[in-house]
Amino acid sequence: MKDGKSMDLENILDKLDPDERSFVTELIERDPLTGVYNRRKFDRDLQLLVAMAKRTSKGSSLIFIDIDNFKKYNDTHGHQEGDRTLREVTQSIEGSLRDYDRIHIYRYGGEEFVVIIPETTTSEAYAIAERIRRNVKHATGVTISLGISHCTETSDSPDSLLEDADRALFQAKGKGRDKVQIYKDTP
């Protein structure tokens, strides 16, 4: 990110004392509604994930999560109820993860979330995703669809990791929603 805006932001942050810098960085990187990291932070962290995953024996997994039929839910129940549900879904996702993984939850946009699971195999990520799916449904009454990709097993770049998880998510929705789907590079 060598554009003018990023450089200006870094220059501004460099002028702050450490406490102020930490406070402003939190404001920039956190989603105000759910409290988890936002897309801006995810885009930066994804680059780091791929670099790190190539150095571990297990690699790392990415879980893409989408709340099923959320537009219809908002239209039926209203946006305030939708916001409450987004917070509850976030809490349920967090409660489904190991302490170490809770720092890797991002609101990707709207009703979509991404979880980075460092040093996991695809089968371990599947077990985690299934636990998330069940817990969200039990705690909130809404269903979610999840797509999993894996850095080193099927994907080797940030773009392909995200695209593969998105393809798997699309397949989960195509199979009736409320499903977990692992990306495989063959149909």
Task: Please give the positions annotated as active site.
Answer: 111
Q: Can you give the length of the chain in residues? A: 187
- Three-state SS for the chain is CCCHHHHHHHHHHHCCCHHHHHHHHHHHHECCCCCCECHHHHHHHHHHHHHHHCCCCCCEEEEEEEECCHHHHHHHHCHHHHHHHHHHHHHHHHHCCCHHHHHHEEEEECCEEEEEECCCCHHHHHHHHHHHHHHHHHHHCCCEEEEEEEECCCECCHHHHHHHHHHHHHHHHHCCCCCEEECCCCC
Q: How far apart are CA 70 and CA 145, in angstroms?
A: 11
**Residue 181 · residue 175 · CB < 8 Å:** yes
